[in-house]
Each structure stands twice: as structure tokens, then as C-alpha cells.
Chain A
Amino acid sequence: MDKSVSLEPMLEMFIFETLQLIEQLEQDVLSCETTNQLESSSINEIFRIMHTIKGSAAMMMLDNIAGLAHSIEDLFYFLREEKHHDIDYSRICDIVLESTDFIKNIISKLENAEEANENANELTDKIKEFLFFLKGADSISNSKKMLDSEDKQQFYITAAKGHPDLKQNKYRAVLFFEPGCAMENLRAFNIVHKLNDLAQSIEYYPADIIENDNSIEQIRAKGFEIIFNTMHNCEELENFFLNTDLVQRIELSEIEHEYESKSEPHHTSPRQIVLEDADEDLPVRQVDKTSEEAAKSSVARQSLISVNVNKLDQLMDLVGELVISEAMVTLNPDLTELMNLDSFHKAARQHRKIINELQDVVMSIRMVPLAITFQKMRRIVRDMSKKLNKDVELEIIGEETEVDKNIIEHLSDPLMHLIRNAIDHGIESRQDRIKHGKAETGKIRLEAKNEGGDVWISVKDDGAGLNKDKILKRVREMGLATKAELDLTDREIFNYILLPGFSTKDEVSEFSGRGVGMDVVVQNIETVGGKVMVDSLAGKGTATILKIPLTLAIIDGMGIQVGESVFIIPIKSIKESFRAREQELIHDPDGNEMIMVRGDCLPVLRLQEKYLIQSQVVELQDGIIIIVENDSQQLCLFADALLGEQQVVVKALPRYLKRINGISGCTLLGNGRASLILDVAGLIN
């Protein structure tokens, strides 16, 4: 929290936006890889994302990111313009993902206010090399093909416009190279060479570009002028020149039609296309095809806005307050003196209804679909299956399930570990799978669904399943067994793998084996009040199920009275409540009190004694015993009375108070009073 406050708003925005864009980018790239083709729409999308990142990075003076984005942009620019069919897509994916990792790394450094001036040269060189390689392959073998296809295209366009085909027009093009790109003369010659495929009777000035080194100066000063005849139209020529490295600007104009009078007036005016003119001119780069789709997607984007979570918290506070003030008005003691309040009550009911609706809406704003978190897992599956040489397919179900924003933050890590485990331990090697008569490709199913007030997320693989004997052996070695092995149910055995430091793997690999993973999962899920369950069937696979509450911000609580104080106990940790008699108490020599409940001896904790609260209720039969449970440990709480169940909005204790044993937070009651929420886990320990 403090961190985000200290960040400058501009930087904060940049980080937020860039991370979002990168996520989107990764998804696009991965989907391209799976379908093994690059749709022009996704190329445009990637192109657009890179362009935005480049622009904003340059604005934030992050030259390394800007440079990297620029070279990726170049790469995709090339891909967009040249319709290739035989490109190594996974190579492209590797490059893009490597680059996104680089950017993410820098951003995380920025977030922690560290220096982030790593050099991206290695990556940019790599990209350039790849681009060069693509281009090389292209200009040799594909130039003929390209010409053919463009011929057809030309025919189509002109036919549509109703023009007769095969007109040769004369054009004059003046090219300006990017300052400082060096060897202008060779580049110019290269362009002329390439132009040979498209045009005839090419003349250029300066004419002696190869022989005369002074021509460099001339090109720099006045540009490189080419006059040629071609049957291609203006647009295609523009594309051709745009496609050339390091060209900064082109002035293209039609000199004369050889067989036809000037029919299209816009051709006659020199068209200027600004190519790589630094980063100030963001919108200029929107060239023909993209602009339309970019416009479309920007319309779709506008229905979403991003809001600072703090503002939402504030909104929720206000609504909570509104609920309280509403009760203060409608239950105001002054009203009792008034007669005939029928219309008042009618209005009050309407008022209450609207407030309830408002509360629901505010809560729903905080809910975020799991889709983004789930989609991130695709990347992990891809990377791991490549490294471990296993074919793994990830199936995602129910990604539209919504969970509170605070909880989603805790889900990413556990899911990552579970997916890793599934690929590393679960899915067998290709040979083994074939041997066992399974499909060669392993399958991992990531599923989310709503059930009651909880969300169930399961990670299921169709691998070898857990090895019970191996787990039991390890349990024995570590001396963890709490009861006779024969008494253990399957589920109990599997639950051992959730213990910290528990690993049946003999070797530690890059991805797993240290026995930390499952512990992280359990820790993270428990902090959001969830549970982890493991189930497995030998030879069929393993399923890990995470049961998490929909929201942390609101819990179902039971109000209990102790003296003047009211405490809230989370309903989910209450097992039962009953009245006990003083005689049932068992005292041990240390003065601890216990009680027998159906054969189990449970400790009794008198809240009034623990928190030194004055209370009239001393005798056990006058108050009430509440059995609370955490991690299968139980405790009896003794309170004066139960006040009933209610939903409460959980708030953190003020910083000033530090931590209090057994109190997890506080909340506001319907009457406007603040009340403390008991932390059952803290009380038991």
C-alpha cells in the first residue's frame, strides 16, 4: 500500500498499463503458437501493443524498453506486410516471450524503486538477426511468389474500381534515411535492386552511388531520388518502401501515366509517409489496415475503465456507513413519539431497498473474473512442456468465475505451483504414456466453479497419480505419522504432501522437488481463508482442489456478547454451540478448564478472563459454550450469549494498536458500533 502511494502517479499508470498489455501480448502470442499461424488481426494487435509500450516507455525515459519494443515492432511490421506461411512461429514466440520477460523484470524493479537500466541490446540484436534472416529468405526465394500474388491483388483492386488493368505509371520517389544509419549509398543500391522486381526503367540520382563515396553526403542532404515505371499502385509502392530498413521518410509522387490521363487526383500530390520519426508522433503510425481494427478494438475497450482499488474501498466504506445511518434514521427514538408513520415507513422501506442494491453493486465491482490468472498458466505450461519435453495440453473451464480482487492476488502463485507439479510429477514421459496406452499428449484441466459461498478451483492432470507407498515411506522416514498406517484413509495419506518440506522426489529439478511448492500453495490459500484438498487415483491422475471464499471483505459472522463487548466469530469456524453445566467441567492442577464433548476432551477458554472483561455471567449454565475449529483443532469459547448471525465487512485494526492476540480485525455493527473479529486460529494456538 505504502509502496503504491510513494510511486508517482505517472509511473504507476505506466506500470499498470504495460503489465496489462504484456499479459494480452503473451496470450496472443501463445494462441498463435497453438494454432501455428499468425492471424493478421493478432499481428495487428501485437503490433499495436508494442507500439503503445514503446511510446509510453519512451515517455518515461525507459530507453531500454522503448528500444526493445521498437525492434519487436519492426519484426511484426515485417510479418504484417509480408504474408508468410512458412515461418518458425515458436521461434517468434520465444523471442517475444523473452522480451516480455525482460520488460516485466524492469517493471518489477521500477515498482520496488530500484535502478532499472539493464541493457536490452542482446535481445534487440537477436530480434534484428532473426528479422534479417526472415528478410534474407524472403528476398531470394519469395520475391517471385510475392510478385505473382501482388499481381493478382492488383487485378482485384483495379477491377473493383472499374479500371482497366496493366497500366504502367511513372513515379518519382525521394527517400530519406534515418540520420546516422551510415552507408546510405549501399542501402540505396539495395532498394534499387529490390525495386527491380516491381518496376521497370529505373533511374536514380545520384547515379554513381556505388562508385562514389561522396554520394552519401548527397543522399543525406537531398534524399535519394528514384524514377521508375510500374504497374503497381501508389499504396503498394508505399508498402514496399515502408518495408525497407532505416528509411525515415518517403516522398512518392506520380509523374505521368503512360497510357492514361490522370484519373486519380490524390496520386499526383506527393504523399508523405513518416516512418520511424521518433516517438512523439504516436498516432501517425496507424497505417491503413490497422487503423480500422484499432478503432474497433478501442471502442470495445472503452466499456472498461480501471479504477484504483483504494477508491473502491472508500466507496464500500461509504456504503457501509450509509447502511448504518439509514438504521439510525429509521430507528430513531424520536420517531416513537410521532403517530401515523405509515408513509414514512413506506418511504423508509424503499430507501432500504435501494441501499441494499447499492451494497450488492459495490460488492460486485470488486469481483474480478479468474480469466487473467488462468490465462497466465498457459505460459507456464508452454515453457515447462518445452523444457521437459512433454506434450501437455491445458484445458481451461469456467474462467469467467468471479472472485474478490484481494483473493485473486493470492491465487496466482498457488496455481503456478500446482501446474508445475502436475507437469513435472504428474504427467509421465511420452514413452511411458504410450506404454500405458494413454494419449501421447498429457492433459491438465484447470477448472473453476461457484458452489455456495465458495469458489472451487481444481487442477487435474491425467498423469500417473500419487504413489501411496512412496508417500507412506517418506512419512515413516520423517516420523510424521500420527496414527497407525492402516487407519489412514487415502485422503489423509495424500494430505501429507501438503506439509512443508515434504517431497517424494529424490532429485531437485529446476521446477520442483524441494518440497516447498505445496507448502506455498497451502499458505497462500489459507491466508485467504481457503482449503486445499488432494485426491488421486493411481494411473489415472491427480486432482488438487482449492476451496476459497468468494470474498474476504465480507464474512458471515456470529455475534457474541461478553460483558459490554460484542465480538464476531467467523461462522465457518464455528462447529456448534451448547449450554453446559458447571459440573461437567474438568479442572487440571494448573487451573485449566476442560470439557468432555462426545468423548473428546476440549479446552475451555473464558473470553471474559482472557480479555479481562467485566461480566455478570460467571456460571457456566448462564452463558454459552461455542466450539470453534481450525485445522481440526477445537476449542470451547465461553461467552455470555449469542447475538445472532450477520454479514460483516472486515476491516483491518488501526495500525496504532499493533497486533492483538486472537483478534484478526474489526468491523462495524448495524448499530454503528465498532466490534472486534476473533481470530480462531490465533486463539487456539
Chain B
Amino acid sequence: MSEVLEEELEEGEDTQKGKFLTFVIGREEYGIEIRFVTEIIGGIQMITEVPEVSDYVKGIINLRGKIIPVIDVNLRFKKEAKEYSDRTCIIVIDIEDLSVGLIVDNVAEVLSIAEENIVPPPDAKAGFHHRYIKGIGKVGTAVKLLLDCDKLLSDEDLTTMNEIA
């Protein structure tokens, strides 16, 4: 009883804490902390290509008068490019005043994942490729890969450097 009360109190303090927006890339479900998400644009429309950038940067879009870059998460994760469908969405995230749109196959839902249900990814020594994963959330029997937004946006080289260090 008292536990429930405490939880509720905590939620009152910060309702966004422990909540994740989940989406699908390929066969996996990923989660992104909801405090980074500013909005979700359904459907892909009018992306203006920008030359001389990495292939995963699809270009720029007009988000209500604001021009923001969009990156294809499929390509960012070095997966096969996927045809955009009407289920494809752009998740607009805002990190330190930098707005970026993430193109994902499909937005699933908003989930609360308690901290005790989040485990760190396996050790890098084991040879796993989890550069962008901050943790793994367990929801019932399913597993969500929780993304590290900073690393998603930052330079790859820089990220690898940091990991070595």
C-alpha cells in the first residue's frame, strides 16, 4: 500500500521519469527517454536532400517554420535501407537545443520501465555491437533496447574514441 503511494508521489515530482517511447527498427524494439521527444510526425513527406553529408542524414524538413535535419535510424545502425511506408514516422528529439528528426519504421507505445527492470548491456569485451544502447529494459517477457540519444547524434569516430579510452 505504502509502496504504491510512494510511487505515485514520485511520479508527481517528475512524470516523465522512467518513461520511454518505443519504436520498431527491423525486428527489434527500441526505447528512447520521453523527455527528449518533442513530437512525432506521422508519415514521411517532403525531405529535402542535402549534399555532402553521411548517407544516414536524409536531409532537412520543415517543421512548422523550423528547419531540422532528419536521420534514418535504419541506416544509422548500418542496416538495410527500408522503403518508407505509411507506418514510417519521424520522431523529433531535442537534445541540448539541437532538434533532430529520427526516421523509424513504426512507433509503438509509451512505456514505464522501472529502474530495477533496466540492465546494462553486455560488456563490450564480449564483442557485442551496442554502441548506441544505454541499457536493456525488461517489460514482461519482451525486451526493449534503450537508446543513448547523445551517442546517436554525435560523431561516430568520437564515440569509438571515447569507448576505447
What is the interface of chain A, defined by CB distance below 8 A to chain B? 317-318, 320-321, 324, 564-566, 610-613, 651, 653-657, 660-661, 663, 666, 668, 672-676
Contacts and interface: CB of A to CB of B under 8 A. Distances in A.
A649 to B, nearest CB: 9
Contacts of B50: 653, 657, 660, 663, 676
Contact of B98 (A320, A321, A653, A656): A656
Q: How large is the interface on B (under 10, 10 to 19, 20 to 34, 35 or more residues)?
A: 20 to 34
Nearest to B59: A674
A565 B48 contact: yes
A674 B62 contact: yes
B62 A654 contact: no
Given A317-B66, A654-B67, A654-B69, A660 B53 contact: yes
A55 B9 CA distance: 45
A223 B46 CA distance: 82
B52 A674 contact: no
A674 B61 contact: yes
Nearest to A563: B49
B60 interface: yes
Contacts of B64: 317, 321
A610 B51 contact: yes
B108 to A, nearest CB: 26
Interface in B128-165: 153
B65 A320 contact: yes
A612 B51 CA distance: 7
Contacts of A566: 48
A665 to B, nearest CB: 9
A563 B98 CA distance: 30
B60 A666 contact: yes
Contacts of B46: 672-674
A668 to B, nearest CB: 5
Contacts of B51: 610-613, 660, 663
A503 B65 CA distance: 47
B62 A673 contact: yes
Contact of A676 (B48, B66, B69): B48
Contact of A666 (B52, B53, B65, B67): B67
Q: 8 tightest CB-CB pairs across the interface, nearest first? A: A611-B51, A321-B65, A317-B65, A674-B48, A674-B60, A654-B69, A656-B69, A674-B62
A674 B49 contact: no
16 contacts: A317-B65, A317-B66, A320-B65, A651-B67, A654-B60, A654-B100, A655-B98, A657-B53, A660-B50, A660-B51, A666-B48, A666-B60, A666-B67, A672-B62, A674-B60, A675-B48
A676 B49 CA distance: 9
A613 B62 contact: no
B99 interface: yes
B60 A565 contact: no
A680 to B, nearest CB: 16
B24 interface: no
B153 A668 contact: no
Nearest to A325: B64
